[in-house]
Structure 1
Amino acid sequence: MPASPDLANAWFAARGWQPFAFQRQVWAAVERGESGLVHASTGAGKTYAVWLAALRAFAKADTGKQPAPLQVLWITPMRALAADTARALQPPLDALGLNWSVGVRSGDTSAAERARQARRLPSTLVTTPESLTLLLTREHAVQDFASLRMVVVDEWHELLGNKRGVQLQLALARLRRWHPGLVVWGLSATLGNLQHAREVLLPAGGALVTGRQDKRLQVDTLLPEAIERFPWAGHMGLKMLAQVSAEIDASSSCLVFTNTRAQAELWYQALLEQRPDWAGLIALHHASLARQTRDWVERSLKQGTLKAVICTSSLDLGVDFLPVERVLQIGSAKGIARLMQRAGRSGHAPGRASRITLVPTHSLELVEAAAARHALAAGQIEARQSPRLSMDVLVQHLVSMALGSGFRPAELLAEVRSTWAFRDLRDSQWQWALDFVCHGGTSLTAYPDYQRVHAHPDGLWRVASERLARRHRMGIGTIVSEASIALKYWSKGGGGKSLGSVEEAFIARLRPGDTLVFAGRVLELVRVENMTAYVRRSTARKAAVARWNGGRMPLSSELADALVEQLDAAAHGHFNGPEMRAVRPLLALQQAWSALPTQGTLLAETLTSRQGSHLFLYPFAGRMANLGLASLVAWRVSREQPLSVSIAVSDYGFELLSPSAVDWATCLPMALSTDNLLEDVLASLNAGEMALRRFREIAQIAGLVFGGYPAAQKSTRQIQASSGLFYEVFRKHDADNLLLGQARDEVLREELEIERLHRQLLKMSALRLDLQALRRPGPLAFALLVEGMRETLSTEKLADRIARMVADLEKVANNNTKA
């Protein structure tokens, strides 16, 4: 018999709260056995909407010695969120005297806790998609999940658009087969395509509950003291250090977000150098730091003992830091959803405003800041699309389900096809996947390690050996990154304190005695052995900053459109908001020497210099789509006339530099055609090398490449060599291998953004070409010139060259010389 319907109201009343209408709506839907998706502002009460709904519907007044068996699975996208979520779920249980236990299962869970869970799962288990799949591989998984009533997927927007979401879809399909009436609810705050998000999570349908969206988001910008009329991207924005320091000083507690871990390291160092008295009051947080360090930072934030934390996306999601008063974002957030997510880390409670202050790293980011605020006010949030037919995930899932009690192909096929990601799976694709896990397809039949699953006489398919089962369990998941090297302090006796991890490719460039910045410290490399880099403290003033891949986030289409809208307004003499008024001198110079992009024109600029003939084109399509456009245009033009072209790209546009002149007025309309787009894009880029790089990830997910056991991890070079060998074998002897096709498709979809490129070409064809001949580079062209020089000059030489160029251009601008 379910608990009293007044249970949730009683808990709210004891705190002097009134439930919101959307919370009552969720409570009623769950009591009717319905599934759904809740979309509401960060801090609006989504967690208590579904948690109290579960308690109302499933908790019983049981005072027995044993807590209730597993009732609720709570899926979180990050291990760091799991413990925080478990703490948030506990207070209602204590206050209401319910005999439910809450446990956490993730990569951070201790061996002792895992052993307890092996005997009996808690009433509510907070876990990640990877750990859920691991639980499903246990021999008695059916019995372990026998009492499950409800699954909650937190931060659904973080999983929807990637392979982790596909992995979760498959896991949910298995749970639904065991429990046809399973209640599933998703939670999200930043989704631009709610219907798709609901359809992927709930293929059989469910409620869509839109919660409180009236949370006040205050977005302002920290204006620089001087506006550079010739801006360039790529520096860390440290010119704003004094102003950021003053803002931190005026706040009781704040988060300072950067877009890269290297940038976070530099800002932390710079703030401490400027304010040594903040030692112990400010901290650093990113995913490569040791878990103990991250835990300490999170606890200190919750307790309100830290004045500021310089962080990356590692603190983007759901962790509830009530003391945080405001957020500062260094550089452009590059997207509206990310901006909302980060803003929501402050004022994280119903009724409290969230404030985010944008800190431009160069002048053009002032326009992005104004665009972001207007797009946010208009609700222009980015859409996320679920991947389809990820065969590497399916191959991994087949082996996972063959562990333990095994699977029957017909039953599993129905289960797989019940997911959105595989609803269009053809019989031939299914048979290929079965053949691949059974004997390695047509090209790996001679190798026992790829005969992973055997069909038994009883009709069940099971993993062939315990050794292969052990290997597979270690590789479950879809997160593939560069091989990491542990970073530890050097100790003669060994066993120095762990600092975290860096990518192997970074350490490979250093020699013993070189220095690096990590965890806010300057360190000297002592030696590297067994995938561990040993370091000691250094007093050096200059050092290499540890770098990680994934630092450059592309500008979203929604923010790009809002950016062009702001430039269009400026072209017509309207400078709305403090950012646009501040950047007016730059935009006025751009208009005087060339023109401003508008919503009805496509701006192109030509320039002749000692280097050759330059074309600058501004589609505002984001870095990857602009790379595809630049390569396409260069290839199509060189097909008509012999031409050697170098390319530079940014989020705003691209530069083509050729030694000889090109009649761009004639060539551009042809070069921007959508005819034969796919074939021409593949021909214009080194698509084979890009597909090989993508295949490395696919090979790891599909279990072709084993990363090694914890004590003997393989190096990046070994993994690359192994995956490269498979790629060549498949390409020459198994051309129909679906993993090869997937690599090509992912390059087109995710790296070249072929759909966005196609939409951009259609959009550009409807615009009037505004071709301007420059006598000297204007502000927009200057930024692209710097992008081109960055590839050939060292940092010091680049800075000197830029300084000379800016001085020359400013002299002309100050003399009011018009091109």
Structure 2
Amino acid sequence: MSFARLPRPPNRAPLPAGSAAASPAETWFATQGWTPFPFQREVWAAMAAGENGLLNATTGSGKTYAVWLGALQRRTAAKGLQVLWITPMRALASDTAQALARPLPALAPGFALAQRTGDTTSAERQRQERQRPQALVTTPESLSLLLTRADAQAELGGVHTVVVDEWHELISSKRGVQVQLALARLRRWNPALVTWGLSATLGNLEEAMHTLVGAGGGRLVRGRIDKPLTIDTLLPEGDERFSWPGQLGLRMLPAVVQEIDQASTSLVFTNVRAQSEIWYQRLLEARPDWAGLIALHHGSLDRSLREWVEQGLKEGRLKAVVATSSLDLGVDFLPVERVLQVGSPKGVARLLQRAGRSGHAPGRASRATLVPTQLFELLEAAALRRAALAGAVEPRRSPDKPMDVLVQHLVTVALGGGFEAEALPGGGWGAPALYEEVRSAPAYRHLTREEFDWALAFAGQGGASLAAYPQYHRLQVMDGRFRVTDRAIAHRHRLQVGTIVSETTMRLRMVSGASLGTVDESFISRLAPGDCFWFGGRLLELVRVRELTAYVTRASKKSGRIPVWSGNRMALSDELAGALRELLWEAARGKFKEPELRAARPMLELQASLSRLPGPDELLVERHKSREGCHLWIYPFAGGPVHLGLAGLLAWRLAQSKPNTFSLAVNDHGLELLSALPVEIDSLLDGSIFESDHLEADLLASLDARQLAQRRFREIARVAGLVFTGYPGAAKSARQLQASSGLFYDVFRQYDPGNLLLAQARHEALAQELEIGRLERTLQRLSAQRVVLVDLKQPSPFAVPLMVERWREQLSNEALDQRLKRILNPPSI
């Protein structure tokens, strides 16, 4: 087992000699047996001076009280809401509110704190209406709902401090843009608004801070405390081999069981919910005596079940919890001693975030143990540790002027008291004041007046193609202000405020009535009554489906399917990919310093003997002919989404000189082009095929760009309010939503080709699904590298995982294993 410790920065410091009397915050700290860290005092002083800022500090180091006590010292005697605390997840709201309430009796008696999220009951909402809190813990979606109130300015105009927790989790999404627009509105009402963000894992801190606080600038505070972090790797015993991709690493189960057994409380992270269900079951099978001591936690489980698990962690009643990203963020679980990560987390930031779930208190050590499930993940484990020690944390950036979020925001503001309308010289109405307000949000700093006016016209009258339909006339000018006058339009808008878009889910209930959680409608649609599947650690039998609810009973059978949920596949980050390429070059020179490299040495040496280990200035290309056809394997080590676009691009460009038919396969490390006819690769060998001129046009030509864009448009149409997802208890099915958005897509393409939502769909398809920015950088790197071509007599260890990716959809696990046994030859593999 290998490990490394991050450097230990200076520990806490006492008040300087001769300093002024302790502040109330410092006095309260003393009553808890704590001494403030210098960064906490710095934040308190900055907030007292009215400064904005971003606090970057290690998970579990005291960020919350640094900013919260700073907010409390800014409180006034005025009634009404003064402080907003924005959290990215509803699940965090309760835990956060408990932490914020702790110092109130001593520091701010009578200062009322409340929560308002999608989980808040109607009774609690009514209580808040009768007695307004001074501080509110909320989410981006609930804040936008508050902005739709007719009295929004009266209710929110007194807010003087906003804290955005886990800013790294929001900044790169449309939810972060939603926060930016809400802050722009609050600053319009209160120009002296103080805004602070909290983050533990960001590589571009200055940029992230300015994205949150706007053009006025702010203070970046880096909290450095004594919090050691150990990153180690669980290696197989003896001659045990790692499985190829698709086997979920269950050969490592005995070693994981042993690690859990040695710790008091552990979190076992997996990357997807289906994998968490499998690992939970296998852990119980391996240790039946752990029944009741281990639990499962993911976002599709019912809220009551998740809360039971979280409470069990806090109280130390659970031995282990198998979880996904649902436990990534700042819930405070002090008893957690160990974190195990099954499979590669694919990024440094995600590893550090999950590692911080252990030792979640100042001065306590955090430990993350990586559990590789196949050869490349073994190498990634060493690369992750190296990148973490070097501080190579991934940057995260805001989307650039998403028009669907802007259209939604215009309707939100029109509901929330309206906004000023100004008659235009040529007729019609404009909103120059709101335009300047929107542009103050960094995501829209490049928004042109023409683009804003288009969004205003689209929200107001449906644009060029929907003007004849009254239901899309959402904005009307009354008394010199844009307002929403139709009550049905207002009701529908409030029901689906937000930017979270996912596959339609079905409620899962026992026939007896108990709620279990949700599953994707697409998964249930493939089942028939009597079919069995695993969910929440239980084997269930489907009884019937009624109105988007699947009713189940406990199954008497022994086996069943594992649900597959929609979601983005995690991809190798640039930082991790660079560290991985360095490790391969060291192995090529016979350097196997890390334990992971030594464990992978037989495979790496076999790769070198059958083919080659590429150097930093080399691009490895392998060629082989089999009964399937002509194989071409290329290894850029740039991540799955980049390789998907690159594979399509290269196949299209190669087919221009000689028509051919290609089958494509990609993973995070390389790509396979399988063709029926031999391929002329002169342009590949001289690097000319990697030129990035006309990249976007070639990508659109090489892939089914219309299908990609139409898939993105379905989400855009929902956010922009074109598609209504249905009323509570009567949600529309995924098929209905897809048909509706597809109709809009076709209408706009035919009758309104300049529609900016269409352009956004094309941009998002390239930027998010194919990562065109990274693809262009990869092409530039590849064009400067020397291509090394190796003709193989048999597939290399690097090539086999790509073949598995292609076969996985065609073969059962048993057939796949048999085929691999025939290919993995000689026996030493």
- Give the TM-score, by structure 1 length: 0.96
* Offset from partner CA, 1:470-520 (integer Å, 9 cap, x none): 0000010000000000011124xxxx1110000001111111111111011
Unaligned runs of 5+ in 1: 61-66, 815-819
**Is the 8 Å Cα contact of residues 440 and 450 (structure 1) preserved in structure 2?**
yes
Q: Which amino acid aligns with 2:187?
A: R
* Offset from partner CA, 1:341-397 (integer Å, 9 cap, x none): 000000001101110000011122110000000000000000101001100000000
What's the counterpart of residue 424 of structure 2?
A: none
| CA–CA separation in structure 1 for the residues paired with 2:63 and 2:681 | 54
| CA–CA separation in structure 2 for the residues paired with 1:324 and 1:356 | 11
| CA–CA separation in structure 1 for the residues paired with 2:781 and 2:377 | 24
What's the counterpart of residue 64 of structure 1?
A: none
Is 1:693 paired with 2:714?
no
**Is the 8 Å Cα contact of residues 339 and 368 (structure 2) preserved in structure 1?**
yes
Is 1:524 paired with 2:541?
yes
What's the counterpart of residue 565 of structure 1?
A: 582
Is 1:448 paired with 2:458?
no
| CA–CA separation in structure 2 for the residues paired with 1:502 and 1:524 | 14
Is 1:297 paired with 2:313?
no
| CA–CA separation in structure 1 for the residues paired with 2:635 and 2:460 | 51
Is 1:25 paired with 2:47?
no
| CA–CA separation in structure 1 for the residues paired with 2:734 and 2:416 | 31
**Is the 8 Å Cα contact of residues 226 and 363 (structure 2) preserved in structure 1?**
no
| CA–CA separation in structure 2 for the residues paired with 1:796 and 1:490 | 35
What's the counterpart of residue 607 of structure 2?
A: 590
Shift of 1:5: 6.5
What's the counterpart of residue 817 of structure 1?
A: none
What's the counterpart of residue 785 of structure 2?
A: 767
Please give the residue correspondences for 1:733-752 in structure 2 after superposition, counting only pairs within 5 Å.
Answer: 733-752=751-770
Residue 83 (structure 1) aligned to one of 94, 100, 106: 94
**Is the 8 Å Cα contact of residues 227 and 363 (structure 1) preserved in structure 2?**
no
| CA–CA separation in structure 1 for the residues paired with 2:130 and 2:172 | 35
Unaligned runs of 5+ in 2: 1-19, 421-430
What's the counterpart of residue 482 of structure 1?
A: 503
Residue 306 (structure 1) aligned to one of 295, 314, 318: 318
Structure 2 counterpart SS, 1:749: helix
Shift of 1:695: 0.1
Relative distance call for 1:226 and 1:585 in structure 2 (3 A) is same
Structure 2 counterpart SS, 1:446: coil
Residue 713 (structure 1) aligned to one of 709, 731, 738: 731
| CA–CA separation in structure 2 for the residues paired with 1:670 and 1:96 | 67
Residue 263 (structure 2) aligned to one of 251, 261, 269: 251
**Is the 8 Å Cα contact of residues 58 and 224 (structure 2) preserved in structure 1?**
yes
| CA–CA separation in structure 2 for the residues paired with 1:451 and 1:370 | 57
Is 1:137 paired with 2:162?
no
Please give the residue correspondences for 1:415-494 in structure 2 after superposition, counting only pairs within 5 Å.
Answer: 415-456=437-478, 458-491=479-512
**Is the 8 Å Cα contact of residues 73 and 150 (structure 1) preserved in structure 2?**
yes
| CA–CA separation in structure 2 for the residues paired with 1:448 and 1:519 | 46
Is 1:794 paired with 2:794?
no
| CA–CA separation in structure 2 for the residues paired with 1:681 and 1:230 | 36
| CA–CA separation in structure 2 for the residues paired with 1:676 and 1:523 | 52
**Is the 8 Å Cα contact of residues 230 and 782 (structure 1) preserved in structure 2?**
no
Is 1:603 paired with 2:620?
yes
Q: Which amino acid aligns with 1:251?
A: A
Q: Which amino acid aligns with 1:69?
A: G
What's the counterpart of residue 168 of structure 1?
A: 179
Structure 2 counterpart SS, 1:443: helix
What's the counterpart of residue 598 of structure 2?
A: 581
**Is the 8 Å Cα contact of residues 298 and 325 (structure 2) preserved in structure 1?**
yes
| CA–CA separation in structure 2 for the residues paired with 1:262 and 1:161 | 25
| CA–CA separation in structure 2 for the residues paired with 1:762 and 1:404 | 48
Residue 150 (structure 1) aligned to one of 143, 147, 161: 161
Is 1:101 paired with 2:118?
no
* Offset from partner CA, 1:420-445 (integer Å, 9 cap, x none): 01111111111111111111001011
Structure 2 counterpart SS, 1:787: helix
| CA–CA separation in structure 1 for the residues paired with 2:92 and 2:138 | 9
Shift of 1:646: 0.5
Shift of 1:4: 9.1
What's the counterpart of residue 63 of structure 1?
A: none
| CA–CA separation in structure 2 for the residues paired with 1:804 and 1:524 | 38
What's the counterpart of residue 126 of structure 1?
A: 137
| CA–CA separation in structure 1 for the residues paired with 2:611 and 2:590 | 15
Is 1:412 paired with 2:434?
yes
Is 1:207 paired with 2:228?
no
> Percent identity of the aligned residues?
58
| CA–CA separation in structure 2 for the residues paired with 1:214 and 1:11 | 22
| CA–CA separation in structure 2 for the residues paired with 1:725 and 1:322 | 52
Structure 1 counterpart SS, 2:798: helix
**Is the 8 Å Cα contact of residues 243 and 251 (structure 2) preserved in structure 1?**
no
**Is the 8 Å Cα contact of residues 231 and 364 (structure 1) preserved in structure 2?**
no
Q: Which amino acid aligns with 1:805?
A: I
Is 1:330 paired with 2:342?
yes
Deviates more, 1:463-472 or 1:96-105: 96-105
* Offset from partner CA, 1:446-466 (integer Å, 9 cap, x none): 11111111111x111111311
| CA–CA separation in structure 1 for the residues paired with 2:399 and 2:271 | 25
**Is the 8 Å Cα contact of residues 438 and 451 (structure 1) preserved in structure 2?**
yes
| CA–CA separation in structure 1 for the residues paired with 2:273 and 2:642 | 24
What's the counterpart of residue 653 of structure 1?
A: 670
What's the counterpart of residue 10 of structure 1?
A: 27
| CA–CA separation in structure 2 for the residues paired with 1:498 and 1:381 | 40
| CA–CA separation in structure 2 for the residues paired with 1:585 and 1:657 | 27
**Is the 8 Å Cα contact of residues 228 and 586 (structure 1) preserved in structure 2?**
no
| CA–CA separation in structure 1 for the residues paired with 2:444 and 2:377 | 41
What's the counterpart of residue 427 of structure 2?
A: none
What's the counterpart of residue 810 of structure 1?
A: 826
What's the counterpart of residue 678 of structure 1?
A: 696
Residue 757 (structure 1) aligned to one of 766, 771, 775: 775
**Is the 8 Å Cα contact of residues 260 and 551 (structure 1) preserved in structure 2?**
no
**Is the 8 Å Cα contact of residues 690 and 747 (structure 1) preserved in structure 2?**
yes
Relative distance call for 1:726 and 1:618 in structure 2 (3 A) is same
| CA–CA separation in structure 2 for the residues paired with 1:213 and 1:717 | 52
**Is the 8 Å Cα contact of residues 289 and 499 (structure 1) preserved in structure 2?**
yes
Please give the residue correspondences for 1:367-382 in structure 2 after superposition, counting only pairs within 5 Å.
Answer: 367-382=379-394
Shift of 1:599: 1.1
Relative distance call for 1:158 and 1:97 in structure 2 (3 A) is closer
| CA–CA separation in structure 2 for the residues paired with 1:444 and 1:795 | 50
| CA–CA separation in structure 1 for the residues paired with 2:22 and 2:173 | 38
| CA–CA separation in structure 2 for the residues paired with 1:783 and 1:689 | 27
Please give the residue correspondences for 1:191-202 in structure 2 after superposition, counting only pairs within 5 Å.
Answer: 191-202=202-213
* Offset from partner CA, 1:305-349 (integer Å, 9 cap, x none): 111000000000000100100100000000000000000000001
Q: Which amino acid aligns with 2:440?
A: S
| CA–CA separation in structure 2 for the residues paired with 1:536 and 1:315 | 28
Shift of 1:231: 5.0
| CA–CA separation in structure 2 for the residues paired with 1:667 and 1:137 | 56
Is 1:612 paired with 2:633?
no
Please give the residue correspondences for 1:636-647 in structure 2 after superposition, counting only pairs within 5 Å.
Answer: 636-647=653-664
Structure 2 counterpart SS, 1:583: helix
Q: Which amino acid aligns with 2:520?
A: E
Shift of 1:677: 1.3
